[in-house]
Amino acid sequence: MANIKKYGFATKAIHVGEQPDFREGATGDVVVPIHLSTTFARKKVSEPTAGYEYTRSLNPTRKALESKLASLENAEYGLVFSSGLAAESTVLLALLNPGDHIVAFDDLYGGTKRLFNQVFSNFGFEVSYVDATDTSLVENGIKPNTKLVWIESPSNPLLKLSDIKAISEITRKHGLILVVDNTFLSPYFQKPLDLGADVVVHSSTKYIGGHSDVLGGAVLVNNATYYERIQYHQNAIGAVLSPFDSYLTLRGIKTLALRLEKHQENALKIAHYLASHPKVSKVIYPGLESHPQHELAKTQASGFGGVLSFEIKGTITDAEHFLEKLTVFALAESLGGVESLIELPSIMTHSSVAKEIRDQIGITDTLVRVSVGIEDVEDLIADLAQALE
């Protein structure tokens, strides 16, 4: 594939990094082999074979995944890690120094907040949180020692959006690095680097892997200096994705476009169904016209994703009864897999957030988060209907 950039998303998702090898002695595999070798022999002392020395530094299966993901995010460079949080930690250690300040969206993934507040704060990193749905609050949060702005759009579980392009204009003006966690929409629906972000991070555990069977993280950048620093730290810290997990993730990505279309189609139908149900007081989904940032969702992304939240009328006990009566939806944390998952943030994913703060930001006791899968939507709606009864 001489000019990879001219191909569409689904073509790149299938072919980039996995072109058959027709060189003398090669076997023309259409799927990249799982290179389990931890070390690579060389013929000459000072010449590693094709650049490979030791798998922590570089591995052919991992490299195939890194190049595939880079092509999908329109990035020059990709790096993959053993989890989303390993990717995030490596970015912070590579790009920041103790004493540096981060302006972060106050509705970040809980694990990211824990990493900032409980781990990096012990090493002199400073973080303050702002409501990034209001771009001016991001700019107001900047201090003399600010180096980086960290956002997520849409956020979880309230599906709030940040205007990536507008925020990137602020970070550019102040010489700051803009990091966007693009886990919720995946590169299929949103490409933050094209909107002006400097670094994209992913939990590939979610939509990119897509089958709830492989943990992983990714970092995508265009800037060669950032790439070199992050790659140096990837090797130096060592939280790399294994060859087998790289293979599983490569396999998952091939259907990313198909899956996300179906996730979104099902999510939209379920959002409409719930919005008209008498026992539901509120539905939050960027694809609904009632979402306060529906217009921004349409302009900065090409889709709305497969996650929605809704509030059940009644008490927390009513919400628990509803969740326990479901049979097709699995009552579980996580998101982005082919199977539908449902959870109660106040007791499950967001229980570590203090109740006053939960109430203040809108994570009420009966707010339910759904990761809509790609099952037959009639079965999903029938399951919700019987459990809401």
Sheet arrangement for strand 330-331:
280-284, 307-312, 367-371, 341-343, 330-331
CB of 87 to ligand PLP, least distance (A): 8
CA dihedral 172, 202, 185, 343 (to 10 degrees): -130
Sheet arrangement for strand 217-221:
77-81, 217-221, 199-203, 177-181, 146-152, 101-105, 126-130
**Which residues are tagged catalytic?**
56, 109, 181, 206
CB of 86 to ligand PLP, least distance (A): 7
Q: Which residue has the CB atom at the shortest distance from ligand PLP?
A: 84
- For ligand PLP, the closer of residues 84 and 306 by Cβ is 84
CB of 88 to ligand PLP, least distance (A): 7
CA distance 212 to 84: 14
CA distance 216 to 205: 5
CA distance 185 to 172: 24
CB of 336 to ligand PLP, least distance (A): 8
- For ligand PLP, the closer of residues 109 and 329 by Cβ is 109
- For ligand PLP, the closer of residues 206 and 291 by Cβ is 206
- For ligand PLP, the closer of residues 71 and 156 by Cβ is 156
- For ligand PLP, the closer of residues 80 and 377 by Cβ is 80
Answer whether 204's CB lies under 8 Å from 72's CB.
Answer: no
CB of 182 to ligand PLP, least distance (A): 8
By CB under 6 A, name the binding residues for ligand PLP. 83-85, 109, 111-112, 152, 156, 181, 183-184, 203, 205-206, 215, 217
CB of 82 to ligand PLP, least distance (A): 8
Beta bridge partners of 77: 221
Residue in the block written with tokens 């990709």: 78
Gap between the terminal Cα atoms of the chain: 55
- For ligand PLP, the closer of residues 60 and 209 by Cβ is 209
Which are the contacts of 103, defined by CB distance < 8 A and separation ≥ 6?
127, 128, 130, 138, 141, 142, 146, 148, 149, 150
CB of 84 to ligand PLP, least distance (A): 2
Which are the contacts of 196, defined by CB distance < 8 A and separation ≥ 6?
164, 165, 167, 168, 169, 171, 172, 178
CA distance 220 to 202: 9
- For ligand PLP, the closer of residues 84 and 345 by Cβ is 84
DSSP state at residue 4: G
